[in-house]
């Protein structure tokens, strides 16, 4: 009988723990005590799991063969035989892989690892990371030998924060193992909860590489249309109109320009870049795409300033309202949001910037970015410019008609507002 420990209860780990908890006994482990207390009380601030799902487990009888419990005490997971690591893999300030959370989680698992156990990684990494970086930590802290005493698997996460249609169980899962027998076990384990089925990769390295290129491909495609937006801006051509015209061809891929943030598309290409450079190859396309996408926040701010100047607005000490701070719509996730680049660039011009986002956690934004979010939507007529940075539900229904009657610039990053109202958009 499997007893599963999920290490890390964020956007990836919690939905996985809930899904497995319906089939097996599961311990959800996280070092964040506050997060554990919230989950034990039925609160999920990521909004990836509803309160009813959490309540269902709290009401189960002790005799139940399955279920889910939460703990920040490592002793709670010492009797498990399957460990699934779902911790974040961020970047350092130098935009190199920060493996500290992953290696610390590996050390924790290693401290309770026993013969015959399987450790499965879901965290996004570069090809080779599981076996070259994580396995040695597991061996060091357990005293056991890889592929003799314990085994590993890799099944890349495919969670899309805020997406209520493409959820964990409805997305096909790539699985792999450190040998054929382990691959079969990992596959059987996941296929028991994934309605869409699984795809068996030939090795852990192949599964790692598949995940790395999923987001790198999107990053490159978006960078192409972002570059087109920069070019067409100089030509005085509306990029959205160009894309609509080009999309009439059956095989045109209609990507749209925008701010590319988040914990996946804006991060994963750097992991592939790092590994490539370690092997002596400097990727041109991936590096170029990242460079373009990383500049779009500054472009939005600078374009807004130019539009303000064209309207005779004094830039220094002017007021700009930014609507939205999360990295995507209808989601509280602010990790690696590129809206911060817009804010910083505007402030460099001596502009007073206010930010309103009803989805983001004011506490988290304050701690990570040093920004105080407005508690409620202000009177937009008091601002010299308004930037719609994130298309949260409700923002598109706001009344922006006041910009017709006063010299206020309206910049639409997402291209969702009526064209006759906006002064600029990507």
Q: Which residues are catalytic?
A: 264
| CB-based contacts of 264, cutoff 8 Å, min separation 6 | 124, 215
Helices (H), 311-379: 339-348, 362-369
> What is the C-alpha separation between 240 and 243, in angstroms, rounded?
5
Rounded Cα gap, residues 188 and 83, in angstroms: 15
The residues, any chain, with a CB within 8 Å of residue 103's CB and separated by 6 or more, are: 133, 134, 137
Q: Which two tokens stand for residue 122?
A: 């879901």
Neighbours of 207 (CB within 10 A): 26
Say if CB 343 and CB 371 are below 8 A apart.
yes
Instruction: Give φ, ψ of 151 to 5 degrees.
Output: -135, 165
CA max distance for the chain: 74
| Cα–Cα dist 267/101, whole Å | 15
Other beta carbons within 10 Å of 158: 21
Q: Is 167 left (phi over 0), alpha (psi -120 to 50) or beta?
A: beta
Name the burial class of residue 273, with classes exposed (0-12), middle (13-18) and buried (19+) by CB atoms within 10 angstroms of its CB.
buried
CA 252 to each of CA 234, 244, 247, 255: distance values in angstroms, whole numbers, following the listed order: 24, 10, 5, 9
d(CA 342, CA 303): 10
Q: Using CB atoms within 10 A of its CB, is residue 396 exposed (0-12), middle (13-18) or buried (19+)?
A: middle
């Amino acid at each position: 009988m499997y007893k599963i420990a999920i290490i890390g209860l964020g956007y990836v780990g919690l939905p996985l723990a809930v899904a497995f908890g319906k089939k097996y006994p599961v311990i959800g482990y996280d070092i964040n005590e506050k997060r554990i207390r919230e989950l034990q009380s039925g609160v999920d601030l990521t909004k990836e799991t509803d309160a009813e799902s959490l309540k269902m487990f709290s009401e189960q009888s002790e005799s139940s063969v399955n279920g889910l419990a939460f703990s920040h005490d490592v002793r709670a997971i010492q009797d498990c035989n399957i460990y699934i690591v779902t911790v974040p893999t961020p970047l350092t300030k130098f935009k190199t892989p920060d493996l500290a959370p992953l290696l610390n989680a590996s050390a924790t698992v290693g401290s309770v690892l026993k013969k015959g156990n399987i450790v499965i990684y879901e965290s996004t990494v570069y090809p080779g990371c599981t076996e070259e970086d994580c396995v040695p930590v597991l061996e060091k802290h357990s005293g056991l030998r890889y592929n003799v005493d314990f085994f590993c698997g890799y099944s890349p996460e495919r969670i899309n924060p805020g997406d209520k249609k493409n959820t964990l169980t409805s997305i096909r899962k790539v699985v792999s193992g450190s040998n054929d027998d382990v691959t079969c076990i990992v596959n059987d384990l996941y296929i028991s909860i994934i309605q869409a089925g699984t795809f068996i990769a030939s090795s852990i390295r192949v599964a790692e590489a598949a995940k790395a290129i999923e987001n790198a491909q999107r990053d490159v495609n978006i960078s192409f249309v972002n570059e087109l937006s920069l070019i067409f801006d100089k030509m005085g051509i509306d990029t959205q109109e160009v894309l609509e015209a080009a999309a009439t061809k059956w095989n045109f891929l209609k990507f749209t320009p925008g701010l590319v943030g988040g914990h996946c598309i804006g991060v994963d290409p750097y992991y592939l870049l790092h590994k490539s450079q370690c092997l002596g190859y400097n990727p041109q396309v991936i590096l170029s795409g990242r460079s373009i996408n990383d500049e779009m926040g500054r472009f939005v701010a600078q374009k807004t300033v130019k539009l303000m100047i064209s309207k005779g607005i004094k830039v220094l000490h002017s007021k700009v309202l930014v609507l939205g701070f999360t990295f995507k719509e209808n989601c509280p996730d602010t990790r690696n949001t590129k809206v911060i680049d817009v804010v910083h660039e505007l402030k460099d011009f001596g502009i007073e910037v206010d930010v309103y986002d009803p989805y983001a956690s004011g506490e988290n934004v304050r701690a990570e970015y040093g920004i105080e979010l407005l508690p409620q939507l202000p009177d937009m007529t008091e601002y010299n410019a308004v930037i719609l940075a994130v298309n949260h539900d409700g923002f598109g229904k706001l009344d922006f008609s006041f910009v017709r009657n006063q010299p206020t610039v309206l910049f639409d990053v997402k291209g969702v507002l009526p064209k006759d109202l906006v002064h600029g958009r990507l």
